[in-house]
Amino acid sequence: MNPPSLMQCLQWRNIDTELSAAEAQHSIGFGGHGTILFKADIKPDEYSILITDMSHCWFEQLTDEDIASRHKKLNPHVELPVSNLLSHLDSCMKPDAVSGIPSVKFSCREHNGQALLDVSFKVAKFPITWQFVGQPCEPEYTRDNLTVPLLLMVKEQQRIQQQLVRIISDKQKEIQDYRQQGFSLSRKNLRTKDFYENEFMKAQSTSKDFDKCVKVNANHISMSEPELSLYCEIMEKFSQLQESSPGVTPVSSPEKPTGRQTNLNEDVNQPGACQAAAAADPVDTETEKELVRRNELLKRTSDSKRNKTKQKMKKLF
């Protein structure tokens, strides 16, 4: 089961699930802390949600009747219209709620191949529980919506880095030119060291911050807001390119052949060859006439300029 293509451009959100030691044995997550990513499209009468632990993807889509039935089963003592329930769920899944509103709690585990994402929150002091039941997606979906986009994000970051390095290098040349002309800084603390790309990159690879970054994120992987935004930009661009591509039919292949098919091996100098082609296709004849007319016009213009140049040279000498 794969989500619709419209889910591709939605933004991933981070969840740190809360599980007991017993539940953790069957939990879904990565980084050793039960962290998962999800993207949800919640409307007044239906919702779609995609869940991933960076290795697998699960998807669920429910309409109002199924939502009402599940709500009655999970919260038998609380009557709540479907539209209100989905509105509260939408609020719970927002980034600010995911970041740590005390009344909202998440847990996620796997059961019989399904991903069960439980959300607990309160409505007018009444506790509400909701369970998303994600069905497994095809393995290709994980590749196309996680692995490939993440690699494209790395490529885009490298491109941006190269642009920044180029700007810094140009700025350094500009500063050096000012120095050579005798200009000086008004404050010495504004002076910076000269920038050399190779030395800078080498220093970063041996930096303590590099070790710290790998250590911290390996134990607690998540995406920051800029990274989530970049993911959306990558997927939107990828979707646009897919829509603009001609698909399996080559652009150069016409759907219906018109006129006479030209043989590339045919000798165009052969007597009568051009006349035969023109007779077979009147459009080609008109095109050839127009080309001949333009060539003659260009030739006359060129001859006129050449004659004027000769007359000017004669006057000079």
pLDDT for the residue 277 = 40
Which of 129 and 232 is assigned the larger pLDDT? 129
Provide the token pair at 30: 């990565």
Q: Output 149 or 69, whichever has higher pLDDT.
A: 69
At 162 the pLDDT is 93
**What is the structure's pLDDT at 312?**
45
Each residue's pLDDT tens digit, 75-86: 999 999 999 999
- 106, burial (CB in 10 Å: exposed 0-12, middle 13-18, buried 19+): buried
Could you tell me the CA-to-CA distances from 198 to 1, 99, 166, 215, 233 in Å, in that order?
A: 48, 39, 13, 25, 30
Confidence label for 21 from pLDDT (cuts 50, 70 and 90): very low
Spatial distance between the Cα atoms of 82 and 45, rounded to a whole number of angstroms: 7
Containing 68, the helix (H) or strand (E) segment is helix 64-74
259-to-129, 256, 273, 288 alpha-carbon distances in Å: 69, 10, 15, 15
pLDDT of residue 240: 82
Contact 274, 268 (CB under 8 A): yes
**Cβ atoms of 134 and 60 closer than 8 Å:** yes
What are 131-135's contacts with CB under 8 Å, separation 24+?
131/70, 131/74, 132/49, 132/51, 132/60, 133/60, 134/49, 134/50, 134/51, 134/58, 134/59, 134/60, 135/1, 135/58, 135/59, 135/60
Q: How far apart are the first and last CA of the chain?
A: 87
pLDDT tens by residue, 238-274 = 778 877 765 433 323 223 333 333 333 344 344 444 4
Q: Which two tokens stand for residue 70?
A: 């599940």
2 contacts: CB under 8 Å, gap ≥ 6:
59, 137, 138, 141
| Residue 222 or residue 287, greater confidence | 222
pLDDT confidence bin for 166, thresholds 50/70/90: very high
Over range 275-284, report the average pLDDT. Answer: 43
Q: How many angstroms separate the CA atoms of 126 and 44, rounded?
A: 21
Q: How long is the chain?
A: 317
Alpha-carbon separation of residue 130 from 106, 125, 175 (angstroms): 10, 16, 61
pLDDT of residue 258: 36
